[in-house]
Structure 1
Amino acid sequence: MTNARANSLSRRIVRSIVVLVLAVVCALPLYYVIISSFKTSVDMTRHPFALPEKWMFANYGQAIADGSIWTAFLNTIVVTVFAVILQVAIGSLAAYAMVLKRNWLTVGMGAVLTLAFCIPVQSTLLPLYKMEGAVGIVDSLPGLIALYAADSAFCYYLIVGYMRKLPFELFEAARVDGASPWRIYWQIVLPLIRPILATVIVFQTLAVWNDFLRPSVFISTQEKRTVVLQVYNAVNGYSTNWPLFMAITCIALTPVVVFFLFCQRWIVSGLVAGAVKG
């Protein structure tokens, strides 16, 4: 018994050391970005990982001086909010239809959606650009939001597995009471799948906020840039002023880091709840 306890303690110590080392490795780039944003270019070159000799808060003042970063924040918020609402609505409705009426047609559509989830985004950029160009919504926020509708396949993929574990007797009882399919979805299904909806919303919010590929291809006007494009533009405009670039990066990272820290408990809890439900 004593040997077993000693072995268990040794395993915990080794596991803790490994986790601590991995945490330090993951945190090191963030530490470098933060401290570099308060340095001069000379100090950043000479002492890359040391604390600043003189804290340069002027880098942040210069980063927000022209106001373009706030416009980029507003654009990103608008795109993220409407895109995530669209993705969750389409994904949850598609999952509901697949579960409510299971036949050869819904099974085939489910297979198509799963296949769509496996298609790389890069391979669809050219046809999507032509399609949006034909209707005149290239270089617009509504056009960018419409692009993210394709990510509804990921939402469907997560939600349908959770929804299949719901007790089907609830649907039958609601039908007997005269509830319409829409009422069943709105008043019964949505409250029951809130854990997985929260998980999907967190995943998709982070994905849309941090996306660079689609905005870089479809957005060219400066006033319509997202935060990620604004950071990329800082590299082009201030390629020799790395402390300024780090300051802009910190400003861009702050909202999404706060959002993730606030919502991270729903990521695992929603997935685990879906795995053990029923």
Structure 2
Amino acid sequence: MEINKRRWLMDIIMLPIGLLTFFPFYLIIVNTFKTQAETARNPISWPKTFYLDNYSYVFREVPLLHAMMNTTVITAISVGTMVIFGAMAAYPIVFNPGKTNKLIMTYLMAGFLIPFQTTLIPLFELMTDFRLIDRLYGLVLVYSGGSVFVFFLMMGYMKTIPKELPEAAIIDGCGTSGIFWKIIFPLLKPITVTAIIYQTMWIWNDFLAPMLFLNSSNNMTLILQVYRAKGEFSVNWPLFMTLTVIVLIPIFIFFILMQKQIVKGIVGGAVKG
């Protein structure tokens, strides 16, 4: 009975919190089915009739497929680079913790503590000098700096792997690269999936870096297309919200499908073997 009372109490507490959290999504979605005049009159109300011209206009006038392709390419290559370099950097520091490797770890930790915003001016100058502005691969290089975050995730998880595994592989004649790719890296699947989820959501929704380093319409990402929907002096809110919903749908589905892997990766990395 005591457990049931606690569950009922938690339900009573969490229900209004859940409704409050859902309200912004409701506000955005219902206004995609309204005209601008109806949204201005009452943005909270349910639409009198479902106005579908917002969606047809967005798909007709906005190059969403091209922007989605740009976003997908940038995200996939950047996340793949971060996972590989993060895992490769963590491997020697965990399984060969010498003074040099500890110094490298301290250096990476110091770099991780520096906010990205403080490096924007020198980074922009560097990108300009190397002619990487308005290049998709230039933006990939910028995002590759997120390897440091993946490095710390991988390092925490690798500490749960028994050191006897690589030692036994060395006795069997396996080289360093073979140990990493055939033994260690396959064991990193839970934390690798977690890193992929976090970094994918970050890059897919990022506005600052694309805004700074991409300027041509041909290279725009989905978030930049949403930004372009905002006028200088006025905003067509139904169209703006419609474009926002369309952009969020892929990453929302991705998160729902992968959320269980986040918990597995975090729990696995928190337990030391």
> How much has 1:258 moved relative to structure 2?
0.5
Deviations, residues 223-247 of structure 1 (Å, cap 9, x unaligned): 1111111101101379331111111
**Does the Cα contact within 8 Å between 1:227 and 1:252 map onto a contact in 2?**
yes
2:58 to 46, 63, 70: 63
> How much has 1:147 moved relative to structure 2?
0.1
Deviations, residues 22-50 of structure 1 (Å, cap 9, x unaligned): 22111111111111001011211222222
The reply to whether residue 80 of structure 1 matches residue 62 of structure 2 is no
The reply to whether residue 28 of structure 1 matches residue 23 of structure 2 is yes
Deviations, residues 214-266 of structure 1 (Å, cap 9, x unaligned): 11111111111111111011013793311111111111011000100111110
CA distance in 1, matches of 2:21, 2:51: 25
Secondary structure at the aligned position of 1:115 is classed as helix
CA distance in 1, matches of 2:234, 2:250: 24
> How much has 1:97 moved relative to structure 2?
1.7
Structure 2 partner of 1:196: 191
Unaligned runs of 5+ in 2: none
> How much has 1:19 moved relative to structure 2?
2.0
Residue identity opposite 1:111 in structure 2: T
CA distance in 1, matches of 2:106, 2:7: 43
CA distance in 2, matches of 1:187, 1:239: 57
Structure 1 partner of 2:225: 230
Residue identity opposite 1:49 in structure 2: I
> How much has 1:275 moved relative to structure 2?
2.0
Change (3 A) 1:182 1:75: same
Structure 2 partner of 1:276: 271
Structure 2 partner of 1:119: 114
Structure 2 partner of 1:162: 157
**Does the Cα contact within 8 Å between 2:193 and 2:261 map onto a contact in 1?**
yes
2:174 to 167, 179, 183: 179
Secondary structure at the aligned position of 2:60 is classed as coil
2:45 to 44, 50, 72: 50
**Does the Cα contact within 8 Å between 2:229 and 2:235 map onto a contact in 1?**
no
CA distance in 2, matches of 1:163, 1:254: 34
Secondary structure at the aligned position of 1:9 is classed as helix
CA distance in 2, matches of 1:272, 1:153: 20
> How much has 1:67 moved relative to structure 2?
4.3
Q: Percent identity?
A: 37
> How much has 1:277 moved relative to structure 2?
5.3
**Does the Cα contact within 8 Å between 2:82 and 2:150 map onto a contact in 1?**
yes
Deviations, residues 83-117 of structure 1 (Å, cap 9, x unaligned): 00011111000011211221111111111112222
Structure 2 partner of 1:40: 35
2:125 to 122, 130, 135: 130
CA distance in 2, matches of 1:109, 1:236: 47
Change (3 A) 1:73 1:238: farther
Deviations, residues 141-195 of structure 1 (Å, cap 9, x unaligned): 0000000111111001111011011000000000011111111111101111100
CA RMSD of superposed structures (Å): 1.4
2:250 to 233, 255, 258: 255
Aligned residues: 273
CA distance in 1, matches of 2:232, 2:70: 20
**Does the Cα contact within 8 Å between 1:238 and 1:245 map onto a contact in 2?**
no
Structure 1 partner of 2:91: 96
Secondary structure at the aligned position of 1:33 is classed as helix
> How much has 1:14 moved relative to structure 2?
2.1
CA distance in 2, matches of 1:180, 1:239: 63
CA distance in 2, matches of 1:236, 1:224: 20
